[in-house]
A and B are shown apart, each in its own frame.
Chain A
Amino acid sequence: MSQFPEKAKVVIIGAGIVGNCVAGHLAEKGWKNMVMVDKGPLPNPGGSTGHASNFIFPVDHGKAMTQLTWDSSKQYEELGVRRECGGIELARTPERMEELKRRVASAKCWGIEAELLDPDGVLRLFPWINKEKILGGFYTPSVSVVDSLRAGTIFRERAVEKGAMTVFPNTEVLDIDVEDGKVKAIKTTRGTIETEYILVCCGVWSPRIAEMAGASIPLVPVVHQMIDAGPVPQFAQAKSEVEYPILRDMSTLMYERQSAGNMEVGSYAHRAILHDPNDIPSNEQAKLSPTEMPFTMEDFEPQLEDALELLPDMLDNDQVEIQYSINGLISMTPDGGPVVGETPEVKNLWSAAAVWIKEGPGVGRLVAEWMTDGVTDLDPNEVDIARFYPYARSKAHVWDRAREGFIKTYGIVHPGEQWEMSRNLRLSPFHARTEALGAVYFQTAGWERPQWYASNENLLREYGDRIADRTNEWDARWWSPIINAEHLAMRDRVGMVDLGAFAIFDICGPGALNVVQKVAVSQMDVPVGKAVYTLLLNTRGGIRSDLMIVRIAKNTFRVITGAGHGGVDKKWFKDHLPADGTVQLHDQTSALCTVGLWGPKAREVLSSVTESDVSHEGFPFGTAKKFFIQEVPVWALRISYVGELGWEIYTTAEHGPRLWDILWEAGQPHGVVPVGIGVYGTTARLEKSYRLTGNELDADYNPVEAGMAFPRVKPQDFIGKEAYLKQREGEPAAVLCSLTVDDHTSSTGEKRYMTGHVPVLTQDGGPIEDAHGRRSYATSAGMGPTLGKYILMAYLPPEHAVTGNQLKVEYFAEQYPATVAAVGATPLLDPENSRIKG
Chain B
Amino acid sequence: MKILACIKRVPDIGARIDLTDDKLGIVTKNLGFTISPHEECAVEAAIQLVEKAGGASAVLTLGPAAADEQLRDCLARGIDRGILLETDAAHWDPGETAKTIVAAIRSESEKAPFDLILFGNEAADSGDCQVAVRVASALGLPCLTGVKNLEAADGNAAAAREVDSGWEIYDIPLPAVIAVKEGVNLPRYPTLRGTMKAKKKPIDRIIPEKTGAKLRTETLYHPPETGKQVEMLGQGTAAVPKVIEILKSLEVI
Contact = CB atoms under 8 A, between A and B. Distances in A.
Interface in B19-78: 29-33, 69, 72-73
Contact of B192 (A284, A286, A304): A304
B13 interface: yes
A317 interface: yes
Nearest to B33: A294
A50 to B, nearest CB: 15
Contact of A301 (B18, B188, B193, B199): B199
A279 B18 CA distance: 13
Given A294-B33, A295-B32, A322-B189, A285 B195 contact: no
A143 B221 CA distance: 52
Given A280-B30, A293-B30, A295-B32, A287 B192 contact: no
B188 A285 contact: no
B16 interface: yes
Nearest to A228: B189
Contacts of A304: 192, 195-196
A287 B12 contact: yes
B189 A321 contact: yes
Interface string B188-207: 11111111100100000000
Contacts of A286: 14, 30
Task: Identify which of A280, A281, A295 gathers the most chain B CB atoms within 10 Å of its CB.
Answer: A281
Contacts of A725: none
Report, nearest first, the 3 A-B pairs whose CB atoms are least far apart.
A294-B32, A284-B16, A321-B189
B196 A305 contact: yes
A316 B193 contact: yes
Contacts of A285: 14-16, 18, 30
Contact of B30 (A279, A301, A317): A279
A318 B196 CA distance: 12
A308 B30 contact: no
A549 interface: no
Interface residues of B, number: 24
A279 B30 CA distance: 8
B18 A294 contact: no
Given A295-B32, A323-B189, A287 B13 contact: yes
Contact of B14 (A279, A287, A315, A318): A287
Interface of A: 229, 279-287, 293-295, 297-298, 301, 304-305, 307-308, 315-323
Contacts of B73: 297
A282 B16 CA distance: 9
A297 B69 CA distance: 8
Contact of A315 (B188, B189, B190, B192): B192
B154 to A, nearest CB: 27
Given A287-B31, A317-B193, A323-B189, A294 B199 contact: no
Contacts of A318: 191, 193-194
Given A279-B30, A287-B31, 10 more contacts: A280-B30, A285-B16, A294-B31, A294-B33, A298-B69, A304-B195, A305-B196, A318-B194, A320-B191, A323-B189
A281 B189 contact: no
Contacts of A297: 69, 72-73, 195
A308 B199 CA distance: 15
A319 B192 CA distance: 9
A427 B31 CA distance: 43
Given A284-B15, A287-B14, A319 B30 contact: no
Contacts of A315: 192-193
Contact of B188 (A293, A307, A321): A321
Contacts of B190: 321-322
A318 B190 CA distance: 9
B29 A279 contact: yes
A286 B191 CA distance: 25
Contacts of A308: 192-193, 196
B159 to A, nearest CB: 27
Given A282-B16, A286-B14, A321 B191 contact: yes
B32 A287 contact: yes
A319 B15 CA distance: 32
A377 to B, nearest CB: 41
Given A279-B29, A279-B30, A294-B33, A307 B192 contact: yes
A67 to B, nearest CB: 37
A320 B192 contact: yes
Nearest to A230: B189
Nearest to B78: A318
A279 B31 CA distance: 11
A322 B14 contact: no
B10 to A, nearest CB: 12
Nearest to B72: A297
Contacts of B191: 317-322
Given A287-B32, A321-B188, A281 B193 contact: no
Nearest to A227: B192
A292 B196 CA distance: 23
Interface in B59-109: 69, 72-73
Contacts of A320: 191-193
A280 B31 CA distance: 10
Contacts of B30: 279-281, 285-286, 293-294
A295 B16 CA distance: 20
B29 A229 contact: no
Nearest to A323: B189
Contacts of B195: 297, 301, 304, 322
Interface string B169-211: 0000000000000000000111111111001000000000000
Contact of A294 (B12, B188, B194): B12
Contacts of B189: 321-323
A284 B193 contact: no
5 contacts: A279-B29, A284-B16, A294-B30, A297-B195, A305-B196
Contacts of A323: 189
Contacts of B196: 301, 304-305, 308
Contacts of B12: 287, 294
Nearest to A288: B14
A336 B188 CA distance: 39
Contacts of A279: 29-30
Contacts of A287: 12-14, 31-32
A286 B192 CA distance: 26
Contacts of B69: 297-298
Given A279-B30, A281-B30, A229 B192 contact: yes
A287 B30 CA distance: 10
Nearest to B77: A321
Contacts of B31: 281, 287, 294
Interface string B223-241: 0000000000000000000
Contacts of A317: 191, 193
B18 to A, nearest CB: 7
A281 B32 CA distance: 12
A318 B194 CA distance: 8
A184 to B, nearest CB: 32
Nearest to B29: A279
Task: Identify which of A280, A286, A298, A321 gathers the most chain B CB atoms within 10 Å of its CB.
Answer: A321
Nearest to A307: B192
B203 to A, nearest CB: 14
A229 B16 CA distance: 29
Nearest to B28: A294
Contacts of B18: 285
A229 B196 CA distance: 14
Given A287-B31, A294-B33, A281 B14 contact: yes
Contacts of A293: 30, 32
Contacts of B188: 321
B32 A316 contact: no
A318 B77 CA distance: 10
A631 to B, nearest CB: 61
A293 B33 CA distance: 11
A318 B13 CA distance: 30
A281 B29 CA distance: 9
B86 to A, nearest CB: 17
